[in-house]
């Protein structure tokens, strides 16, 4: 079987990957430290909302290996992979499970964080959309799932190290350069300029929506009757 050099990851996918990685690390660190960094934690969460909005669109309109349909982990694909029969480029079925799990977890974290509060100085930009009781519950969910998120990130890093040192497959380099050596598939196609514009528009819309800038300003507190003298 001949092997060749193919374009595996398009530029938008690579930029998304590294921006999301940096944003998640910054969100975890700022959330754990708290204090004055909690405001930055909220802003990073809004950025992550935009990144997720972009990826959801790019997973449909992007190039070959970025599309969800290409690597969706069906039971048949998982069985083939576990049995050593799976062949393909891009995310393998187990890696795909990790990708979808991380996207779903981040969506829950973003939504819960936007409606959370810390009972001190921070209130999520969309907290006014729910009652205080629901906001408190979402705050608990957000804090609980942060530990799950850290675990998934660590597992992701361990898997990359395993593939690099044990299976001798460098997963990082293609995500930097876009190219994979000794591949058996075809170079990625699709994901043109129009698709990129649509994905960027959705990303900006997600950021605007998450920021709460569209919500009406809260009315000023009622002032009691002031006696006239």
Of 170, 148, 151, the C-alpha closest to 161 is 170
Q: How sure is the predictor about 13, in pLDDT bands with cuts at 50, 70 and 90?
A: very high
The arithmetic mean of pLDDT across residues 100-114, rounded, is 97
pLDDT in tens, 55-92: 999 999 999 999 999 999 999 999 999 999 999 999 99
The arithmetic mean of pLDDT across residues 37-61, rounded, is 97
**Domain spans in the chain, listed from the N-terminal domain onward:** 4-211
The arithmetic mean of pLDDT across residues 163-178, rounded, is 94
Of 187, 213, 28, the C-alpha closest to 106 is 28
The Cα 177–Cα 182 span in angstroms is: 15
The Cα 40–Cα 162 span in angstroms is: 33
The pLDDT score that the predictor gives to residue 19 is 98
The pLDDT score that the predictor gives to residue 1 is 47
Topology (CATH level 3) of domain 4-211: Fumarate Reductase Cytochrome B subunit (1.20.950)
The arithmetic mean of pLDDT across residues 176-190, rounded, is 94
Q: How sure is the predictor about 121, in pLDDT bands with cuts at 50, 70 and 90?
A: confident
Place of tokens 């959309």: 129
- Give the rounded percent of residues in the chain with a pLDDT score beyond 90: 86
pTM: 0.93
The pLDDT score that the predictor gives to residue 217 is 82
Mean pLDDT score of the chain: 93
């Amino acid at each position: 079987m001949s092997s060749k050099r193919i374009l595996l990851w398009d530029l938008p996918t690579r930029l998304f990957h590294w921006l999301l990685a940096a944003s998640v690390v910054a969100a975890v660190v700022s959330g754990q430290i708290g204090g004055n960094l909690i405001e930055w934690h909220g802003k990073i969460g809004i950025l992550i909302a935009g990144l997720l909005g972009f990826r959801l669109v790019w997973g449909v309109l992007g190039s070959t290996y970025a599309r969800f349909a290409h690597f969706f982990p069906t039971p048949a694909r998982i069985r083939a992979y576990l049995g050593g029969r799976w062949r393909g480029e891009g995310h393998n079925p187990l890696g795909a499970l990790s990708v979808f799990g991380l996207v779903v977890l981040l969506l829950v974290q973003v939504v819960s964080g936007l409606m959370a509060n810390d009972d001190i100085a921070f209130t999520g930009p969309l907290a006014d959309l729910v009652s205080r009781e629901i906001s408190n519950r979402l705050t608990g969910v957000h804090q609980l799932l942060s530990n799950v998120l850290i675990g998934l990130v660590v597992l992701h890093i361990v898997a990359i190290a395993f593939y690099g040192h044990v299976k001798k497959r460098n997963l990082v380099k293609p995500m930097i350069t876009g190219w994979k050596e000794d591949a058996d598939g075809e170079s990625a196609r699709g994901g043109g300029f129009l698709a990129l514009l649509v994905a960027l528009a959705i990303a900006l819309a997600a950021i605007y929506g998450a920021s709460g800038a569209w919500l009406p300003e809260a009315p000023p507190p009622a002032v009691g009757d002031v006696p006239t003298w």
